[in-house]
Amino acid sequence: MARARLTRELIVEAAATLLTESTDDITLAQLGEVLGVDPTAFYRHFRDKDALMRAVSDRILSAVTVDLPPPASDWRATVVEICRRLRAAHVGNPRLAELVRSGPPLNRNEFDLTERLLVELRAAGLKPKAATMAYHALIELTVGSAAIDAALAAEPPDARRQTYERWRSAYRLLDPAEYPTSVRLAGQLYQGDAEQRFQFALDCLLDGIAGHVPGSARST
């Protein structure tokens, strides 16, 4: 109805909105409807759906590196903050992780994010080789964790709690003779929310990474 001129900008914005509103894949038909335009009009602005999705991913990653504390003030806190934001961006957009899988987006915001992580890891005292290995480790945990948790995160909180409870009872109801430890620890599985579990994992990983700083207690 309120037809405006179709631009890449408008398409990306509409796609990003659709993406956050649902777990499902975006459809070009949906996109056309939202924009009040023929479903195929979009081919005048993007090569194909994949190109659109990459543009959307750039837009979503733009939130990750804004307004961070000054470089090297507290490397660990900054790394945690970046990873939290990166995870949130992916969790809020379930379909995004699929794109990252096929390779780094190699766009503006992704370069900013990489630079900043590498700066902090170097500031922590890691040597070049260890810094890049730590960078990869952080990305794999963060993006991987988001990919796993995204589907459930899209559901409302109590549906989520119900699902966790369902999974817990699946373990609780196993044969105690065959699965004694699972049965005993069933109540502890999937405790808290996925974000807290990620924080624990990230803390452990950073403890281990800190051990690679020359002169640290654990370094070889």
CB contact at 8 A, 130 and 214: no
User: Which of 129, 158, 215, 220 contacts a second copy by CB under 8 A?
Assistant: 129
Residue 133 beta carbon to a second copy: minimum distance, rounded to whole angstroms: 5
Residue span binding DNA (CB under 7 A) among the ranges 12-20, 40-48, 127-135, 204-212: 40-48
Residue 155 binding result from a second copy, DNA, none, given CB thresholds of 5 to 8 Å by partner type: none
Residues 6+ apart with CB under 8 A from 205: 137, 138, 141
Interior/surface letters 187-196, b for 16+ CB within 10 angstroms, e for the rest: eeebeebbee
**What is the distance between the alpha carbons of residues 140 and 132, in angstroms, rounded to a whole number?**
12
Q: Is 49 in the site for DNA (CB under 7 A)?
A: yes
Residue 17 beta carbon to a second copy: minimum distance, rounded to whole angstroms: 22
Using CB under 7 A, count the residues that bind DNA: 18
Residue 149 beta carbon to a second copy: minimum distance, rounded to whole angstroms: 8
Q: Alpha carbon 87 to chain centroid distance?
A: 3
CB contact at 8 A, 38 and 32: yes
HEC profile for 5-57? CCCHHHHHHHHHHHHHHCCCCCCHHHHHHHHCCCCCHHHHCCCCHHHHHHHHH
Q: Is 62 in the site for a second copy (CB under 8 A)?
A: no
Q: Is 165 in the site for DNA (CB under 7 A)?
A: no
**What is the distance between the alpha carbons of residues 139 and 191, in angstroms, rounded to a whole number?**
24
Backbone CA torsion sign across 118, 124, 127, 132: negative
By beta-carbon proximity to a second copy, the closer residue of 14 and 147 is: 147
Residue 131 beta carbon to DNA: minimum distance, rounded to whole angstroms: 38
Residues 6+ apart with CB under 8 A from 137: 205, 209
Q: Is 25 in the site for DNA (CB under 7 A)?
A: yes
Q: Is 27 in the site for DNA (CB under 7 A)?
A: yes
Residue 26 beta carbon to DNA: minimum distance, rounded to whole angstroms: 6
Where on the chain is the footprint of a second copy (CB under 8 A)? Answer: 97, 100-104, 106, 111, 114-115, 118-119, 122, 128-129, 131-137, 139-141, 143-152, 163, 167, 170-171, 174, 178-182, 184-185, 188-191, 197-198, 200-201, 203-209, 211-212, 217-218
Where on the chain is the footprint of DNA (CB under 7 A)? Answer: 5-6, 25-29, 37-41, 43-45, 48-50
